[in-house]
Amino acid sequence: MTSGLVLYGYWRSSAAYRVRIALNLKGLGYQNRPVHLVKDGGEQHASAYAAMNPQQLIPSLRDGDRTLTQSLAIIEYLEELHPEPPLLPVDARGRAQVRAMAQLVACDVHPLGNLRVLQYLESELGADEAQRGAWSRHWIATGFAALEAILADNAATGGFCHGDTPGMADACLIPQVYNARRWKLPLDDYPTIRRIDAACSELQAFRMAAPEAQPDAPAVQG
């Protein structure tokens, strides 16, 4: 389905990856406009992009004359306008649970490992590569330990984070698993997370959204 949606993203951005998964799960086509986060000091800081997204972060989603920002707000917007298939359960408690798992990743894990934070740690606090790696692994491990406990303890956990269809929590979790692997965090302690990651990796919506499947992914990835 062609939707007229335009996604400003970056192949390896966790937040853009979430939105790609949501768009694919809903079967919404979109134009992909890569924003290179490193080249020329970061294309997200260019004036045309900054005018559209004053945070100078990605992703942004254009829908007609309107720019939407913040990955979870974008996913909620897609859910409201294109309710099928749903990415949130029908009951308020289930919805709260899925949103909480999504926010565990999107508020308490991912922002700490973001590029701009790692750049600050290096330039202002002199953190070397090993310290930046330890920092990133620490916050992912802290978040994953909690999420594993939540998933393992909840009767609503199914083949995916909530029940047997993928939703908003899975769209946040899988990009964070990708980051965990990138930072070489062992995943042995998180069997439920590994199981859900394996289930998602079988689905076309997740495969098409993966960093290495994006047009701006380099041929050799660092």
Residues near its own copies (CB under 8 A) are: 54-57, 66, 68-70, 72-74, 76-77, 80-81, 92-93, 95-97, 99-100, 102-104, 106-108, 110-112, 117, 120-121, 124-125, 127, 131, 134-135, 138, 143, 145-147, 149-150, 153
CA angle 187, 191, 222 (to 5 degrees): 30
In the complex with its own copies, the residue whose CB is nearer, 74 or 213, is 74
CA proximity to 187, closest of 136, 129, 140, 131: 140
Whole-number minimum distance, CB 95 to its own copies, in Å?
Answer: 7
In the complex with its own copies, the residue whose CB is nearer, 104 or 177, is 104
In the complex with its own copies, the residue whose CB is nearer, 24 or 136, is 136
Whole-number minimum distance, CB 80 to its own copies, in Å?
Answer: 5
- Cβ-based neighbours of 14, under 8 Å, separated by 6 or more: 110, 175, 176, 178, 179
Whole-number minimum distance, CB 11 to its own copies, in Å?
Answer: 21
Q: What does the alpha-carbon distance between residue 64 and residue 154 come to, in Å, rounded to a whole number?
A: 40
- β-partners of residue 63 are 5, 66
Q: What does the alpha-carbon distance between residue 192 and residue 176 come to, in Å, rounded to a whole number?
A: 14
In the complex with its own copies, the residue whose CB is nearer, 134 or 213, is 134
Q: What does the alpha-carbon distance between residue 132 and residue 66 come to, in Å, rounded to a whole number?
A: 37
Whole-number minimum distance, CB 25 to its own copies, in Å?
Answer: 18
Whole-number minimum distance, CB 221 to its own copies, in Å?
Answer: 26
φ, ψ for residue 46, nearest 5 deg: -60, 150
In the complex with its own copies, the residue whose CB is nearer, 121 or 203, is 121
Instruction: Identify whether the C-beta of residue 8 lies closer than 8 Å to the C-beta of residue 58.
Output: yes
Whole-number minimum distance, CB 59 to its own copies, in Å?
Answer: 11
In the complex with its own copies, the residue whose CB is nearer, 68 or 185, is 68
- β-partners of residue 61 are 7, 68
CA proximity to 210, closest of 37, 61, 18, 23: 18
